[in-house]
Structure formats: structure tokens, C-alpha cells
Amino acid sequence: MSVEALPRFRAENVRGMLRHGLITVVFCCFIAAALAITQHGDWGAQMVYSLSIGLISWLFIDVGRLLISGHREILWPSSGPWGYLLVAGGVTVGFLGGNAIGDAWTHQPLLDFGSFTERKLATTIIITVTATVCMCFFFYSLGRSKHMRRQIDLAQRNATEARLKLLETQLEPHMLFNTLANLRVLITADPPRAVAMLDRLNNYLRMTLSGSRALAHPLSAEFERLADYLELMSVRMGERLRYTLDLPDELRGTPVPPLLLQPLVENSIRHGLEPKVEGGQIAVRARKDAGRLVIEVSDTGVGLDAAQTSEGSGFGLEQVRERLATVYGDQGRMNLAAGPSGGTLATLSFPLPPRP
Amino acid sequence: MNSTALIAEDEPLLAQALKAELAAAWPGLQVLATAGDGRSAVREALRLLPQVLFFDIRMPGLDGLGAAAELADRWPADEAPMPQLVFVTAYDEYAARAFETQAIDYVLKPVQPERLRKTVLRLQQALAAQQQAKPAPAAAADEALERTLAQWRQVLAAAAGNGASASPAASTAPLKMIAASEAGGSTVRMVPIGEVLYFEAADKYIRVLTATHEYLIRTPLKQLLAQLDPETFWQVHRAVVVRSSAIEAVHRDEAGKLHLDLRGRTEKIPVSRLYGHLFRAM
């Protein structure tokens, strides 16, 4: 973040400082009151000593931390001894300066600590140090929690944005409107096929709108949704799209994150087959390999090299990678390569869950 | 009087439907052929010389815009008048809005009979106007051609502009330096935009040509155009953008095609018919 984006003394920081100052004043009044009561001393003098020490420490530390760390989100020196030095400096300057002002107010010899009883000196120092450290820690925690809250807000916003974008890519207007246009034709020309297509569209929409919320569903359900999508697309593309789905029975129940494969198949169509005049084939295959589930999405489209120059790719893949990483950590893998007979081959693999 | 048309649409059901709707709305129209992709649309159009084109904007191979631009160049205007162009699109809200103001039409899929009837009416009027101009002297025919070209140019620019603004990657900041690889080499050179004489799209690349060197970049021409100052760089062809100040002369060959000579380069630069108006003598 640049200096311009976060000037040290922008209004928000100054407001924060003044708030700290006000809290300090209140706190100092309490200390002064406590001292006046316990030592039966002069209320006015205690007030002056306490407020002077507190406010000088506050000013020193608060201005200091802005000068040192004004470019960051948490306004506190983050590395090395700077934080401690700042507090120590604040205590020293506050103690000496505050006592000087107090001495002047009460017409006592300036900073004549020799006249103090040992106990009184120790008490003053301990109170100053403890109070300052406590206040600093309190303000630091306050700033930190504010920062954390901001981070959480940001993360939530990002997550929402990602989900909306996923939804947007899946409900891409061209796909939707072209499907509806086809449906409209079928309604008069071939009603039974129209009904079948409508059911597919229904399934597809339901899955897309609700699917991203569930954590997992059986692989067979994932394949059924792929079948819905591919069937819709093959009504639209006619003979230009052929597809096969191959799911062994033993793998049908394997839980997988919903819509995990969808972006890969969409990529195959959009960047592989749609640009290719004669169309081609998509094959989705699941198999077991050494305790891992391996899913391959292959197409006979224009291939990776050509697809890279077309716009809009990337988001779907990133989405799949992120979801694999969230669910399976290092164990989930995705690989994108040129297919054996031209086109693209995407391979996903992750550990099979242990059988119950 | 019978009119002829060609439909370019990659979704077979939608092509059939458009054909059926047209048969109902315009019984006198004869659909000569239906093409499933941009390249065969251009091929069929040049073979059959229809009077009306219905082009889907999104098609494999060559999209509707590209196909139209190529046709504008290759159309034999002395054999048949330039066809009327209607774009068909499922969802192009900006393009559709841009077309509203244009003389030529667009149809939104699914095609609605009401809307199609309006389009048919406009087409019939345009064709009737063309018919009247036909027996007129050559000057009038030229004028008619130029009018049609101007319409095409507007529609293509509107639709292409929509595409450019829709992609978030396209930036509008003017380009100062171009990171380009040397032809055949693995080095990336920083080429100041001031040295570039012209850009030529070739396959997956754009050739960047200076007075002495040739470089390659992989940015699509559409995206590059959005970053160039339109005063400085002129698009003169579907695939060519030249520095206007480097143009030395314009020649017309025997076939009536325009070519440019550039200061500092020896090759001839083709000028598309769509951009011929830039070089009409004042």
C-alpha cells in the first residue's frame, strides 16, 4: 500500500489518537483520585502530576507509533525492539516531564527526587510504568481487533464475489438465452423433446443455484448434472457435440464437492469445441488408481494453444484449483495437458475417502 | 418479386426456426442456403450472391462480425449489389442497443414473429430502393454501394466496440511501449510506440513493424486497438492498423482495390473496402 493511500495523519488516525487521549485523561483522573485518597494528599497536585505524566506519555507514544508505522494497517511498530523502545521512551519522557510540570505547579524544587521517600518514588514509578504499559496494550489490542474485523469483512466480501462470479459463468446469458431459444423451437416442433429438454434445464438450474452451498454430493449426482448440461448443449450444437460419461459402479457413492467438474466440461465446450467448425467429442472418465480417485475430462477441440488466445478462460480453472485445495489440501491435484489426439486433457485426482 | 437470402447460424434448430419464421413473414423470400460456421457462410455467400444475409454473431471458425468484414472486402459489387445485413444474436444487450440506432437490423433470438415482420419490412424497403438505383448510371450505383458500406461499417464498429468494452482486461490507457518478442528469437524487446509503422494480424500473432524491424505480440487486435490513439493509428483493413502519418501514397490497382505505400517500408498495404472512405480525394 502506498504512502498516499494511507497518510500518517489522515483524519481517521487523528480521531483514533484523540480518542486514546480522552481515555488516558479519564484513566489519569482515576489514578489521581486513588492516590489522593490513599495518601491523603492534595487533590489538585495529584491531578496535575497524574494528567501531565499521562498526557505526555500518550502524546509521545501515539505520535511515535504513527511516525514509525503510519503506512500499515495495524498502527503499531511490528518488528524489532521499536514497540518496546517506544513504550520505554514514553514512560521516561512522561515521568520526567510530568513530574517537572507537577513540581512547577506545587512550587517544589524541580525534579528533586532526593527529597522523596524511597517508597513514594517507587510507587510513582510503578504506577507510571504499569499504567502506561496497560494503556498501550489496551490501545494495541483495540487497533488489532479493528484490523482483524476489517480483514474478516474483506475475506467475506471476496468469498461472496467469487460465488457470484461462479454463478455468473454458469448462468452465462448466451448459454441461457440460446437454450431458451432452442426450447421455444422444440415446443412447437417436437413437444416430447421439449419436455425432456425443459427437465434437463430445470435440473441444471437447480443445481447451479443451490449446489454451491452444499459441501459434498455423490459422484453419481455430479455425473448426472454433467449429463444434464451436456444434453442441453448437444440439443443446441446438434451433431457438432458428442459425449461419453464413464463412471464405474464402485465409485458412484464417492463424495465430491458439487459442480467440481462443471467448469472443466464448460471449458472444453467453450474453448475447445465451440471454436472448432466440425465440433468434436468430450469424454469424462472416473477411475480408481492406488487409493486415489482420478477423473479425466478430455476433448477433441482446438487444443490448449489456440484456447489460450481466446478470451475469458482462466476463471473456471482457478475455481477448480481453489476448491481442490480447500477440500483436499496438498492431496488434490489438477493437471492440464494437450490431449493424445489433439484437444485438451484435464486430469483431477484426490484421495478416496476410507470406506465406512 | 422474389428475393434471396442466406442464413448463417451454428445451432441447427435455431437455423431451422429462423427459416420457418421467415417463410411465414416473407413468403417471397427464398433462403438459398444455411451455413453452420463463418467460413462456409462467406464461401456460400460469394457463390450464391444473396440479397439478404442473416448472420449469427457467435459462430465457430469465424464469427459473424469477421465474416461480414471479409465479405465486404471480397464482394463482387459489379456483379450484384452488396447484400443487406441482419445480425442474429441471443444475448448482446449493448450491441442490440447500438443496432437500434443503425439503419441495418438485428434480430434477437428466439425470433419473435412481430419483431421479424418489422425487419422484413425494412429489408423490403431497402431492396426496393436498391432496385430503383440499378438502372441508374454508374455514379448512382457507386453511391448506393458506398451507402451500404457505411451502414456495414457502423454496425460492425458498434458490435465490435461492444465486445471490447465487455472484456474487463481491455484497458483504455494509451500504449507507450510494447513488450514484443523478436521474430524467431526468445528475447523480448521494448518497442516505443512512436517507432511502429503498422500492425498486421496474422494467425495467432500480431506482427509489429517498424522501419527496420519486425516483432511479434500475442494480444488480439481488438484489444490492441482499444489501447491505440485512433487519431494516430488507423485501421485500414480487418487485419491491418497503420500509423496515419506514415502513409505516403494510396494506389488503386486494375481490380479497383486500394493499396498504401508507407514511408520507410517497401511492401504494399491492402486497404479494405470498408475503410476506403478514409482515402477518398478531398
* Residue A246 C-alpha, separation from nearest chain B C-alpha, in angstroms: 27
Task: Tell me: pLDDT of A3 over 80.
Answer: no
Interval A214-222 mean pLDDT = 86
CATH architecture label of B3-162: 3-Layer(aba) Sandwich (3.40)
Strand bridging mode A280-289 / A292-299: antiparallel
What residues form DSSP beta bridges with B234?
B242
* A298 or A158, greater pLDDT: A298
Give pLDDT, residue A308. 55
pLDDT of residue A299: 92
Q: At what angle do helices A11-39 and A43-69 cross, to 10 degrees?
A: 150
**Residue from A174, A176, A178, A193 to probe the interface with B (highest B Cβ count within 10 Å):** A178
Q: What is the pLDDT of residue B47?
A: 95
* pLDDT (average), residues A30-43: 80
Inter-chain CB pairs, A–B, below 8 Å: 69
Neighbour tally for A336: CB within 10 Å: 16
**CA-based nearest residue to A66, from A26, A23, A12:** A12
User: Which of B12, B17, B60 lies closest to A238 in CB terms?
Assistant: B12
Over chain B (282 residues), what is each successive 10-residue block's mean pLDDT? 90 91 92 93 94 90 86 85 87 65 67 85 84 65 78 76 47 75 80 91 86 87 84 89 91 85 89 85 66
Judge whether residue A4 has pLDDT over 60: no
Domain boundaries, chain A: 11-153, 190-351
pLDDT of residue B89: 84
Element (H, E) at A298: strand A292-299
Strands A333-338 and A292-299: unpaired
**What pLDDT digit, counting tens, does each position of A121-160 carry?**
777 788 888 888 888 888 888 888 888 888 888 888 887 7
Considering only residues A70 and A181, tell me which one the structure prediction assigns the higher pLDDT. Answer: A181
pLDDT at A187: 92
Supply the pLDDT for residue A201: 92
Other beta carbons within 10 angstroms of residue A106's beta carbon come to 13
Domain ranges of chain B: 3-162, 177-279
**Mutation target among B7, B9, B11 for the A interface, most CBs of A within 10 A:** B11
A190-351, CATH topology level: Heat Shock Protein 90 (3.30.565)
pLDDT recorded at residue A106:
81
> What is the pTM assigned to this prediction?
0.67
Chain-chain contact of A277 with B61 (C-beta, under 8 angstroms): yes
Which residues from A are below 8 Å from B13, CB to CB?
182, 185-186, 189, 235-236, 238
pLDDT of the residue at B221: 83
User: Is 2.60.40.1080 the CATH classification of the domain at B177-279?
Assistant: no
